[in-house]
Amino acid sequence: MIVTVTANPSLDRTLEVAGLRRGQVHRISAVHVQPGGKGVNVARALVSNGVAARAIVPTGGVEGRQLIALLTDYDIEVCQVPSAGPVRINVSVVEPDATVTKLNEPGATLSETEVSGLLDAILGNIADASWVVLAGSLPPGIDPAFYAEVIRRLDGRGIRVAVDTSGPALRAAVAAGPALIKPNREELEEVMGRKLPTVADIGDAARELRDSGVGAVLASLGGDGALLVDADGIWHAEAPAVVRSTVGAGDATLAGFLAAGAHGFSALRQGVAWGAAAVSLPGSTMPRPGDIRPESVRVRARIDGGRLLQAG
């Protein structure tokens, strides 16, 4: 069982438009409304590929009820933590060249009681977990060290923790030594406090994080694929894709990596295959087995030191 925690879930509206122009009226050509938030997406990707997942989510308001209704389409065990404020709505605007503009709400403030309800829900629903995935931003009202606190509470219980978040929450989580983090390039640059223009720079940063106590770093690099540094080595992998929507691609990558054992180049291959499949699907649609092509992924153990990453 893989348990995901999404402290700040969302209803994701992906709008397809011919071209975004500030200050103009736009006619939308297609709308996708999907359950969202990073841990929710990881759980959707896992169950879509036959891996058992439980999603822990605070749910409030009409939007929370809609989120739960949309999740009934998936075979996910959902653990709801009642909250007074509504689940946020995040809007992504996708243009024909696959440029994505994301408008993410902060989310409703969680009260102290709701935060301790969330912590209790996590601690009470992980006995059968091999992995706990702490994913996405924290809503207002939660201490940025919340994920770090969960990592410390799970220490010594034989449960591995993966973290996919950003900013101060990621920095605090890194200091608590999780088994795995899945930053994208921007998040990694933020945590390192420096620019990382090349694949080699990403590898150096990932090694430094491992030296500081993080078990493994799976850095997703958009069109440049992903780089893994774990106890056994370093690999870079990428796959060609016809890009339609990148929303949720990082979540699909993390799900594929965990589903494949979360270790070494074969798990990296699956992660990149799931990410490449996700970008070819509309909205934040998670790939199913028929969409995923691990044979199209090229994995290298030698890092092309000078290779500049695409502008992102």
Ligand X SMILES: O=P(O)(O)OC[C@H]1O[C@](O)(COP(=O)(O)O)[C@@H](O)[C@@H]1O
Binding site for ligand X (CB under 6 A): 8, 10, 12, 36-38, 41, 90, 104, 136-137, 166, 247-251, 284
From the list ligand ADP, ligand X, none, partner contacted by residue 48 (C-beta under 5 to 8 A by kind): none
Instruction: Kindly tell me which of 32 and 38 has the beta carbon lying closer to ligand X.
Output: 38
182 in Cβ contact with 163 (< 8 Å): yes
* Reduced 3-state DSSP string for the chain: CEEEECCCCEEEEEEEECCCCCCCCCCEEEEEEEEECHHHHHHHHHHCCCCCEEEEEEECHHHHHHHHHHHCCCCCEEEEEECCCCCEEEEEEECCCCCEEEECCCCCCCCHHHHHHHHHHHHHCCCCCCEEEEECCCCCCCCCCHHHHHHHHHCCCCCEEEEECCHHHHHHHHHCCCCEECCEHHHHHHHHCCCCCEHHHHHHHHHHHHHCCCCEEEEECHHHCEEEEECCEEEEEECCCCCCCCCCHHHHHHHHHHHCCCCHHHHHHHHHHHHHHHHCCCCCCCCCHHHCCHHHCEEECCCCCCCECCCC
From the list ligand ADP, ligand X, none, partner contacted by residue 137 (C-beta under 5 to 8 A by kind): ligand X
Instruction: Kindly tell me which of 10 and 246 has the beta carbon lying closer to ligand ADP.
Output: 246
Instruction: Kindly tell me which of 33 and 62 has the beta carbon lying closer to ligand X.
Output: 33
CB of 284 to ligand X, least distance (A): 5
CB of 156 to ligand X, least distance (A): 29
Cα radius of gyration (the chain) = 18
Kindly name the residue from 164, 201, 251, 291 that is annotated as catalytic.
251
Instruction: Kindly tell me which of 66 and 104 has the beta carbon lying closer to ligand X.
Output: 104
From the list ligand ADP, ligand X, none, partner contacted by residue 222 (C-beta under 5 to 8 A by kind): ligand ADP
From the list ligand X, ligand ADP, none, partner contacted by residue 284 (C-beta under 5 to 8 A by kind): ligand X
CB of 80 to ligand ADP, least distance (A): 25
User: Where on the chain is the footprint of ligand ADP (CB under 6 A)?
Assistant: 184, 220-223, 225-226, 241, 243, 246, 249-250, 253, 272, 275-276, 279
CB of 288 to ligand X, least distance (A): 17
Tell me if residue 304 is catalytic. Answer: no
Instruction: Kindly tell me which of 161 and 279 has the beta carbon lying closer to ligand ADP.
Output: 279
- Give 272's strand partners: none
From the list ligand X, ligand ADP, none, partner contacted by residue 41 (C-beta under 5 to 8 A by kind): ligand X
Minimal CB distance to ligand X: which residue? 36
CB of 111 to ligand ADP, least distance (A): 29
The residues assigned a catalytic role are 251
